Structure 1
Amino acid sequence: MPTIKDVARLAGVSPSTASRAMHDNKMISEATKERVRKAMEELDYSPNYSAQNLVKRESNTIGIILPVRENQDSLGNNPFFMQIIQGITSVCTEKDYMVSLASGRSDEELIKNIQTLIRSGNIRKFIFLYSKKDDPAFSFVQKEQVPCVVVGQAYGPANQETMFVDNDNFQAGQDVTQFLLDRHYQNLLFLYTDLDEMVEMERIKGYLDRMQSLGLKALSFQLSRVDEAKTMAELQSFLQQNPQIEAMICCDDVIAVRTQRILEWLQYKPSDFAMISFNNTMVTELAKPSLTSVEIFPFQLGEKAASLLLERNLKGLDKPYFLPHEIIERGSTPYL
C-alpha cells in the first residue's frame, strides 16, 4: 500500500509539502498541487483519514442535523431534504469530507446523538437542515462552540461560528399570494402545520402582509400533524363556514398533496380550489392536478451550506446568504 512518502518521492517534493498540497494549503503553488495529485492518482493513494483525525482531534466529517417525527409530515420524510443532503455531499466529496447524520424523535434524543458525534466522533462542523425558534439542539451546539451553518431563517447574528443559508421566504410568501391575485383569485386560504418552524412563519407572514396591504381578508388554517380524522373534520367545518374560498396556499408540497387527498375524501372536486405550494419536489408532478410550486433550489442550498462551512470565508458573514426562488406553474392554478 503506497504511503505519503511514496507520493512525495514521485512528485519530487517533501512529505510535508505533499501533505499540505493534499489539504489544498494556500502556501503551496497550483503546479505543485497538480504534481501531487497526479502522483496520488498514479499510485492509487488514499489518505489515512483515521490517523489524521487522531492527531488533529478533529474529523474530516460534517454532521448533518435533521430531527424526525413519528407522523407523515416528518421533516425526514420530505424529499426536499434529500436534495439538500445531495448538495452537501457533492461539495464534501470534492473536498475529501464525509457526512454523518444526527437525528432523533425528541429534543433529548437529538442532542444525545449530536453529543456523541462531537465527543466520540470528533466532529466539529455541523449543518442544521431546519430553523426553529428556541431550539435546544442549536443551543447545545452553540455552547459547544462548534461552527455550524443553518439552512433556514436566521434567528441570531451570522458570524464566524454560525452562518445562515436560506431563501427569502417572506418574499416568496408575498410572491405566491400575488401570483394567485393576478389570476383573479381574491379569497385565499393559507395552510400550515407548525409556526414554530421559521420557514412556515416567514411564508405566512409574507402572505398576510400582501393580503393586508390590499385590504383583503387573510384566512389561515392549521393542519394537525398527528390526527388526520380531527384535521379532516375541522377543515370540512372551516370550509363550510367560509364558502367564499377560491384558492389555497400550502406551506410545502407534502402539505399540499395531503390537502388534496383530504379534499377528495370530503368529496370536493379538484376544480373547486386552485392550489399553490412551496419546494417544488417530485410530488408536484404526481399530484392531481399537478401542483404549481415555488422552486427554492435545495441542491444549491446544500452546496452553499457545505461550502461556507468548509471554507469559513468571513467576508459578508454578518448577514444570511440568500438564494433566489422561482414559481413553477402547473395545472393547479388556472386563471379564474
Structure 2
Amino acid sequence: MTTIRDVAKLAGVSPSTASRAMHDSNLISDKTKEKVRKAMEELNFSPNYAAQSLANRFSKTIGVILPIREESVGNNPFFIQILQGISTICNAHDYIVSLATGQKEEELIQNIDNLINRGNVKNFIFLYSKENDVILEYVKKQKDVFYVIVGKPYDNIESTSYVDNDNIQASSDATNYLINKGHQNICYVYTNLDEMVQDDRYVGYRLAVKEKLFNSYKLNFSSDNREENKEKLLTFIKANPQVNGIVACDDITGLTVQQILIESGIDLEKYEIVTFNNSIYTQIAKPMITAVEIFPRFLGSEAAVLAINNGQKTLDVGTKHIIVPHKIIEH
C-alpha cells in the first residue's frame, strides 16, 4: 500500500513536508506543493483523513441529523436534494458526510453519541427545526460540538447558525397566488405544526387571508395513514363546500390531496393546489401542481459551508444566518 513516505520520497521531500503540502500549509512553497501533488497523482495516493483525524482528535466529518418521522425520509425528495447540496460542498473540502437516523429518540441519540465519542465528530447539521427537541438539547450539552440548523431555530436565533427560507413570506405568496386567481376560501393542509417550517407556513397563510378579511381553514393530515387522510379530507369538504383552494405544507401532502380528490370522483377544476418544494412529484402529477421552489440543494450547500466554518474557521462566510430565496413555479 502506498504511504505518505512513498509520496515524500518521489517528490524529494521529507514526510512532514509532504504532509504540510497536502494540507496546503502556508509554510510550504507553491513549487514544493506542486511536486507533492504530482507525486500523489503518479502513485494514485489519497490522504487517509480518517487516520489523521484520530491522531489529531478531530474528524473531517459532518454528521447530518435526520428527523424522526413515521414515514421514511428517504421517500421525500426534499431530503435527497438537501443531502446532495451538503455532499457537494463537503466533497470539495475533503469532508465526509455521515448520517444519524433513528425511529425513536433514544435510537437517534445513541447514533449521535457513537459519532461523537467513537468517530470524534464535532460538527453536525440538523435537517429540521422542532419545538422542545430533546435531540437538539442533547447535542447542545456535548463538549466542543458545533451545529447548524436547516430551518429557523425556536430559540437563541441570533447565536445559532442556521440556513432557511423565509417560510412566512413564501406561504403568504403562495396564498396570495390563489387569491389573485379568484379563490376566497383557502385551506392550509399540514402534518405537524411542531415543525418550525410547517408552523411558519401556517402563519404566512393566516396573514394573507386575514389581510383580505377571508376565513381561514386548516386540516391536519396524518404523516403515514392514507385512509385516515381520505376520510378527513372528504369529511372536511362536505362540511366546507365553499373551500376551493389548498395550500399544502409540502409536495407529498399536496399530491396526496390531489390523488384523494381524483379517486373520489371530485372535479379538480374546483380545487387549485399550491405546495412547497417543487419536487419531481409536482411535475409528474396529473394535472401538474403549482409549487413554491425553495431550492433545497442550495439550503444544503449553504448549511455545509456554515458547518465547515463553524468547526475550523476555514471558510470566511461573514455570517451565521443565511436566507435562501423562493419562487413560485406554475406547472
TM-score past 0.5 threshold: yes
Pair 1:186–1:165, CA change in 2 (3 A): same
* Shift of residue 306, structure 1, vs aligned partner: 1.0
Q: Secondary structure at the match of 2:207?
A: helix
Unaligned runs of 5+ in 1: 331-336
Does 2:43 align with 1:43?
yes
Counterpart of 1:326? 327
In the superposition, the TM-score normalised over structure 2's length comes to 0.91
Contact 2:68 2:105 in 1 (8 A): no
User: C-alpha offsets along residues 185-231 of structure 1, whole Å, 9 cap, x if unaligned?
Assistant: 22111110100011100111111111112211111111122443332
* Shift of residue 95, structure 1, vs aligned partner: 1.4
Contact 1:152 1:198 in 2 (8 A): yes
User: Counterparts of 1:224-243 in structure 2 under 5 Å?
Assistant: 224-243=222-241
* Shift of residue 129, structure 1, vs aligned partner: 0.9
* Shift of residue 26, structure 1, vs aligned partner: 5.3
Contact 1:189 1:218 in 2 (8 A): yes
Counterpart of 1:287? 285
Counterpart of 2:155? 156
What amino acid sits opposite 1:21 in the alignment? A
User: Counterparts of 1:51-66 in structure 2 under 5 Å?
Assistant: 51-66=51-66
Pair 1:243–1:29, CA change in 2 (3 A): farther
In 2, Cα distance between equivalents of 1:171 and 1:111: 34
In 2, Cα distance between equivalents of 1:177 and 1:208: 9
CA RMSD of the aligned region, Å?
Answer: 2.2
Contact 1:67 1:76 in 2 (8 A): no
Pair 1:273–1:306, CA change in 2 (3 A): same
More off after superposition, 56-65 vs 5-14: 5-14
User: Counterparts of 1:161-172 in structure 2 under 5 Å?
Assistant: 162-172=160-170
In 1, Cα distance between equivalents of 2:158 and 2:12: 41
In 1, Cα distance between equivalents of 2:296 and 2:87: 13
Pair 1:235–1:163, CA change in 2 (3 A): same
In the superposition, the TM-score normalised over structure 1's length comes to 0.89
Pair 1:26–1:258, CA change in 2 (3 A): farther
Counterpart of 2:69? 69
In 1, Cα distance between equivalents of 2:221 and 2:252: 12
User: C-alpha offsets along residues 71-129 of structure 1, whole Å, 9 cap, x if unaligned?
Assistant: 3xx43421110011111111111111211111011111111111111111221111111
Counterpart of 1:139? 137
In 2, Cα distance between equivalents of 1:43 and 1:159: 48
Counterpart of 1:81? 79
Contact 2:185 2:215 in 1 (8 A): yes
Contact 2:306 2:317 in 1 (8 A): no
Q: Secondary structure at the match of 1:156?
A: coil
Percent identity at matched positions?
48
User: Counterparts of 1:1-336 in structure 2 under 5 Å?
Assistant: 1-11=1-11, 13-25=13-25, 32-71=32-71, 74-145=72-143, 146-157=145-156, 162-312=160-310, 313=313, 316-317=318-319, 320-330=321-331
What amino acid sits opposite 1:5 in the alignment? R
Contact 1:68 1:76 in 2 (8 A): no
More off after superposition, 121-130 vs 272-281: 121-130
Contact 2:174 2:274 in 1 (8 A): yes
Pair 1:180–1:30, CA change in 2 (3 A): farther
Unaligned runs of 5+ in 2: none
Contact 1:151 1:166 in 2 (8 A): yes
In 2, Cα distance between equivalents of 1:170 and 1:135: 21
Counterpart of 1:333? none
Aligned length: 326
Contact 2:70 2:223 in 1 (8 A): no
